Chain A
Amino acid sequence: ELKVEQNPLFLSMQEGKNYTIYCNYSTTSDRLYWYRQDPGKSLESLFVLLSNGAVKQEGRLMASLDTKARLSTLHITAAVHDLSATYFCAVEGWGAQGGSEKLVFGKGTKLTVNP
């Protein structure tokens, strides 16, 4: 059974600072996705990581995947207020009911960037 854990679940940081959100998962997988959700809005795809060592960058966000450690990181550089949102990671694998491969979501990290 694949389990996905994100930490921290809540993150409050000041503008201009750097921080990292972690996504750990419990079974072998080499495909991981990061989504962003603004308050009251839907989930928007940010990054798709499809192999060990994959690194993707978009603006102040950089995501990486280490399949051996079963870990993905979402690094925030010089945060700005516009990055305030909830960030979800999702991992392809075998879910709670087994039987087939699917996407399993973490609980999300709510990021607040303060001026």
Chain B
Amino acid sequence: AQTVTQSQPEMSVQEAETVTLSCTYDTSESDYYLFWYKQPPSRQMILVIRQEAYKQQNATENRFSVNFQKAAKSFSLKISDSQLGDAAMYFCAFYFGNEKLTFGTGTRLTIIP
């Protein structure tokens, strides 16, 4: 079975600074997908960024980028120029084609004005 581990229950960052959220996973699969989801206080899950395991290039979406280390099974999220609207729970998730997403336990990100 796949597992996803987020070792940072809470993180905080000054507005306009950069923060990195960590995620590791365990799988015997070689072809899979990794995701970061954002859950603001409204509780609506929002897809932030997606990475295909077969791609070596790290995914980027505006201020959000990932550091994907396949051999180390590590998938961290970097948020640059942090904004107040980035405050949320962030979940790392894994998918390998069995139609199901497996989530980590989440990291609560606080932005300090």
A and B held together in a complex: no
Binding site for A on B (CB under 8 A): none
